[in-house]
Structure 1
Amino acid sequence: MKYKIEWSYKRKGLSAVTFYSEWVDGEEVIELGEEIENSGKAAELFFYDELGTSWTLKEMKKLTVEVEEEPHDITVYFDGGYNEGTKMAGLGAVIYYKEGKKKYRVRANEQFSDLNSNNEAEYAAFYFACNLLEELGVQHMVCEFKGDSQVVLKQLEGEWPCYEEEFNRWLDRIEEKLKGMGIEARYSPILRKDNKEADKLASQALEGKMIHSKMQII
């Protein structure tokens, strides 16, 4: 999670001037806040997270300790593949996140039936990734979702309309899942070559090679 600092700068005989920082990581934002407070020039000092919640310095110190023990700084890659002959879909997802001072990667895939197209497989893959986040215990976090399906990401973002009933059902399921977990989603379309991990997992699922792993990364 990243935070912004808002502080009112005291001026002798004049009204205070309010300043805002850029987005800063949790540990660094505490250090900056302490420096501002110790300067004696801050009339007021507040911190804002990416969900718009405000915190005092004391509250921030307690919050960052709690957040550091939960999955945070989460990036999700997803991809779906579809075999016209077998009517089977392969779903792949890769999740990068921090927990404490350590970084982790989860790789998982799943085989899925009763879908009708590659686009529908992409929606199913996104929903599969949401279920993995739920398994990790992710709650009330900002998560960045990356995939090479602009259709899925743009429709979830609300930029593109969706006219297909089967896609709308997936959109409703995904939005309900994200809302229930308190996740604020950020959507980032990427090129297919930048989504190789999730793509490979989806292909392996179609081949019947099932994977579900978690590892610490450097």
Structure 2
Amino acid sequence: MDVIVKWKYKTPRGISSWMTSDEMPFNEAMLMARDIVKTGRSIDLYFLDNRGTKWSVKELETYMTKKQERPASIEIIFDGSFDKQTKKAGCGAVIYYYEGRKRKRIRINKALDYLENNNEAEYAALWLGLQEIKTIDVEDTEILIKGDSQVVINQLAGEWAVYEPLFTRWMDRIEDTLQQLRLQPVYKYISRDENKESHRLAKQALNGTEISSSIELDNE
């Protein structure tokens, strides 16, 4: 988390002026703030994050301590399968993350009716994974989103235009969820060979086998 330090500097003769630092990482900003306070010349010192939120020293320290305890290095891999004859879809998602030093994995899938095509199934699979992420107390961090659907990845990344109202609705749901959780998405297209795990989950859902599991992995 990068922040700006703002403080009012007051000279022994009572002349005062607001000072503003460059944007810098939280740890560096905290060191600077403590050094500024030691001079005895600062008034109303606070931090500003890139959203314009104002933080006191105590508030920011408390927030960052809690953040370190939350899941980090989050990665979601998704895939969707669609049966044109039955109009049924299978959605699968795998979530990897660290909780402290422990690496964990969530696997989830679900069968859905009334979808229109494979691309919608892909969007629904990502949506499914994001709903699961809500359960692990994730907030204000980067999330790597990987899938083998060029349509979904490139449209969400803003690389491809979106003309279909159906896809726009799914994009709105996904982006609203990311915003609610204050997650900063990084989208990455992967090949089908790299997406076997979530693809298998999607196929299993389509065939009637639903899975929901969470395990701790051995650290590699």
* 2:10 alignment counterpart: none
The answer for the alignment partner of 1:137 in structure 2 is 137
- Is residue 51–residue 142 contact of structure 1 (8 Å, CA) maintained in 2? no
Give the match for residue 128 of structure 2. Answer: 128
Where does residue 111 of structure 1 map in the other structure? 111
1:75 matched to 2:82:
no
Stretches of structure 2 that go unaligned for 5 or more consecutive residues are: 5-20, 34-46
**Secondary structure of 2:168 counterpart:** helix
Q: Take 1:95 and 1:53, find their aligned partners in 2: how far apart are those partners?
A: 30
Q: Which residue of 1 aligns with 2:158?
A: 158
TM-score norm. by structure 2 comes to 0.73
Mapped partners of 1:19, 1:57: distance in 2: 17
Cα shift at 1:188? 0.8
In 2, distance between residues paired with 1:34 and 1:182?
A: 22
Equivalents in 2 of 1:72, 1:157: separation in Å?
Answer: 21
Judged with a 3 Å threshold, the aligned counterparts in structure 2 of structure 1 residues 180 and 35 are, in CA distance, closer, same or farther, namely closer
Asked if 1:197 is matched to 2:187, the reply is no
CA-to-aligned-CA distance 1:86-135 (integer Å, 9 cap, x gap): 11100000001111221110000000010111111001111111101112
Structure 1 unmatched ranges of 5 or more = 7-17, 24-28, 38-46
CA–CA separation in structure 1 for the residues paired with 2:185 and 2:102: 23
Contact 1:82/1:90 (8 A) holds in 2:
yes
CA distance in 1, matches of 2:68, 2:97: 11
Report how far residue 65 of structure 1 moved.
Answer: 2.9
Q: 2:203 matched to 1:177?
A: no
The amino acid across from 2:180 in the alignment is: G
Report how many aligned residue pairs link the two structures. Answer: 201
Task: Please say if residues 71 and 137 of structure 1, whose CA atoms lie closer than 8 Å, have aligned partners that are also in contact.
Answer: yes
| SS across alignment from 2:81 | strand
Distance 2:197 2:98 in 1: 19
CA distance in 1, matches of 2:75, 2:50: 15
Summarize deviations over 1:142-176 as a string: whole Å, max 9, x none: 11100011111111111211111211111112112
CA deviation after TM superposition for structure 1 residue 137, in Å:
2.5
| TM-score, normalised relative to structure 1 | 0.74
